[in-house]
Amino acid sequence: MNSPSITRRRRPFMAPVWLLGMLAAGVLLLLAGSLLYFQRATVTTVIVVRHAEKAAVEGTDPPLSPLGVERAQRLAALFGGGTKLGADTALGRPVAIYVSDTRRSQQTAAPLAERLGVVPVVADSDPGALAERIEAEHHGEMVLVVGHSNTVPAIVSRVSGLAAVPPMTDDEYGTVYIVSLPSLGKAAILRLDF
């Protein structure tokens, strides 16, 4: 009579170590990917202002009044560094300036453009087209848009994705909207007077 044979099942000794190694590699890969994504996360800043005070003259394209010229200089000091404050005290330095095709809009941006060495771009009057252009060409940068009382709220709303932007009155010239658009998270709007 033959004795029954006993078969033993061999369990590989290295299997648990191999599984732990694969798990650790997966976690490291996930962490590296998350770190890369976080480092690429940026904030696009869009500053939107109405043109400064216009002169009370006949015509459809009036220039700035003396008060408007003074306000344009304050805008330049705010975002381009003031002579009394020093160049390093600016709130930020726009890399692009968008203006409408009116003289008052272009004159409002001129002092800042001169300080920064930036040539203002005459932009499309459609807020949606302007917002798309800014998103496409200036991701992670700061830009300034000089608009009008009827376009500023629409531009801020379109750029930020927030609908609750109050309309501007005819005598409201010193309002500046600073829209922060992070790649991660929601847009934020800061409304200031200058």
Q: What is the pLDDT of residues 54-90, one digit of tens each?
A: 999 888 899 999 999 999 999 999 998 755 544 454 5
pLDDT value at 96 more than 90: yes
For residues 163-178, give the mean pLDDT: 91
For residues 127-135, give the mean pLDDT: 92
Non-local (6+) Cβ contacts of 73 within 8 A are 111
Given a contact cutoff of 8 angstroms between Cβ atoms, the answer to whether 97 and 143 are in contact is yes
Give the separation between CA 166 and CA 176, rounded to whole angstroms: 13
User: pLDDT at position 19, please?
Assistant: 72
User: pLDDT at position 32, please?
Assistant: 80
The identity of residue 16, as a single letter, is P
Between 4 and 114, residue with greater pLDDT:
114
Between 89 and 19, residue with greater pLDDT:
19
The identity of residue 64, as a single letter, is L
Give the separation between CA 151 and CA 145, rounded to whole angstroms: 10
Distance set, CA 20 to CA 17, 34, 95, 127 (Å)? 5, 21, 49, 54
pLDDT value at 189 more than 80: yes
User: pLDDT at position 28, please?
Assistant: 85
Given a contact cutoff of 8 angstroms between Cβ atoms, the answer to whether 47 and 180 are in contact is no
Q: What is the pLDDT of residues 142-162, one digit of tens each?
A: 999 999 999 999 999 999 988
User: pLDDT at position 155, please?
Assistant: 95
* Number of C-beta neighbours around residue 122 at 10 A: 12
Residue 123: φ, ψ to 5°: -100, 160
User: pLDDT at position 85, please?
Assistant: 47
Between 51 and 9, residue with greater pLDDT:
51
Distance set, CA 45 to CA 21, 73, 169, 170 (Å)? 43, 21, 24, 26
Q: Which residues pair with 94 in a beta bridge?
A: none
User: pLDDT at position 86, please?
Assistant: 47
**What's the predicted TM-score (pTM) here?**
0.77
Of 17-26, 44-53, 64-73, least confident by mean pLDDT is 17-26
The identity of residue 39, as a single letter, is Q
Residue 164 pLDDT grade (very low, low, confident, very high; cuts 50, 70, 90): confident
